[in-house]
């Protein structure tokens, strides 16, 4: 995956409309891969799903806690992507009190599929989801790749370690 360009896709996001007086002050906003990654050095990590145990207990909150440490190494933004819709990703971010890590909804799984990381998790009732991976991306090009071992459909385990923020930080320190 190193030196590969990430796929160009459009993400359907929901953002707060500060001018709205509606009960639900959010509007749809389309964001491209370039909007997030062009001209920047970022981290992208993907996980099986919002509100799931490992993702909510360790991975997302630890990336949030280590955000400043990554910034010291030239990382501009940290993005978390999951095959979940914008409503779920926004609610998950709120429930986790996430302010620094930016959440990207890949509701249709298009980005994840084109990354070659879309797997079935029917054994858990999830349907199609992402295998756990992370990348350091510089101007849309993958410069470092982290992937949990054993990628497969309906994997009995949920390996976690290679994609932990601590492991990624140690690789760039």
The string of pLDDT tens digits covering residues 45-91 is 999 999 999 999 999 999 999 999 999 999 999 999 999 999 999 99
Closest CA to 44 of 143, 152, 173: 143
Residue of higher predicted confidence among 24 and 51: 51
Query: Quick one: pLDDT at residue 17?
Result: 83
Instruction: Note down the domain range covering 67.
Output: 10-172
The least confident of 2-16, 18-32, 131-145 is: 18-32
pTM of the model: 0.95
Among the listed residues 55, 117, 119, 134, the single catalytic one is 55
Could you tell me if residue 74 is inside a domain?
Answer: yes
Cα angle value 142/143/145 (rounded, 5°):
75
Quick check: helix, strand or coil at residue 136? strand
Could you tell me if residue 5 is inside a domain?
Answer: no
- Number of domains present in the structure of the chain: 1
Residue 158 has pLDDT above 80, yes or no: yes
Query: Quick one: pLDDT at residue 34?
Result: 98
User: What residue has token string 């920047």?
Assistant: 40
Could you tell me if residue 134 is inside a domain?
Answer: yes
CATH code, domain with 92: 3.40.30.10
Q: Tell me: the pLDDT tens digits for 93-151?
A: 999 999 999 999 999 999 999 999 999 999 999 999 999 999 999 999 999 999 999 99
Model confidence band, residue 154 (pLDDT cutoffs 50, 70, 90): very high
Could you tell me if residue 44 is inside a domain?
Answer: yes
Residue 19 has pLDDT above 80, yes or no: no
Closest CA to 56 of 110, 17, 3, 98: 98
Could you tell me if residue 4 is inside a domain?
Answer: no
Residue 15 has pLDDT above 80, yes or no: yes
Is 80 annotated as catalytic? no
Could you tell me if residue 3 is inside a domain?
Answer: no
Instruction: Please enumerate in sequence order all residues whose Cβ is within 8 A of that of 49, keeping only pairs 6 or more positions apart, or say none.
Output: 55, 82, 83, 84, 126, 129
Residue 24 has pLDDT above 90, yes or no: no
Tokens of 53: 């145990």
Query: Quick one: pLDDT at residue 127?
Result: 96
Quick check: helix, strand or coil at residue 32? strand
Burial classification of residue 158, based on how many CB atoms lie within 10 Å of its CB (0-12 exposed, 13-18 middle, 19 or more buried) = middle
Could you tell me if residue 1 is inside a domain?
Answer: no
Residue 6 has pLDDT above 90, yes or no: yes
Could you tell me if residue 123 is inside a domain?
Answer: yes
Structural contact between residues 15 and 50, judged by C-beta atoms closer than 8 angstroms:
no
Residue 16 has pLDDT above 90, yes or no: no
């Amino acid at each position: 995956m190193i030196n590969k360009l990430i796929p160009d896709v459009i993400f359907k996001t929901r953002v707060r409309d500060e001018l709205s007086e509606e009960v639900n002050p959010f509007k749809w906003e389309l964001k491209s891969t370039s909007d997030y990654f062009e001209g920047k050095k970022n981290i992208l990590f993907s996980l099986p799903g919002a509100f799931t145990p490992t993702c909510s207990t360790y991975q997302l909150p630890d990336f949030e806690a280590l955000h400043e440490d990554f910034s010291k190494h030239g990382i501009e933004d940290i993005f978390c992507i999951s095959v979940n819709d914008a409503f779920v990703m926004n609610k998950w971010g709120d429930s986790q009190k996430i302010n620094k890590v930016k959440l990207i909804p890949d509701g249709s799984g298009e980005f994840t599929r084109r990354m070659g990381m879309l797997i079935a998790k029917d054994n858990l009732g999830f349907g199609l989801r992402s295998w756990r991976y992370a990348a350091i991306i510089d101007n849309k090009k993958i410069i470092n790749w982290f992937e949990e071992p054993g990628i497969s459909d309906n994997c009995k385990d949920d390996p976690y370690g290679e994609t932990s923020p601590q492991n990624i930080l140690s690789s760039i320190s």
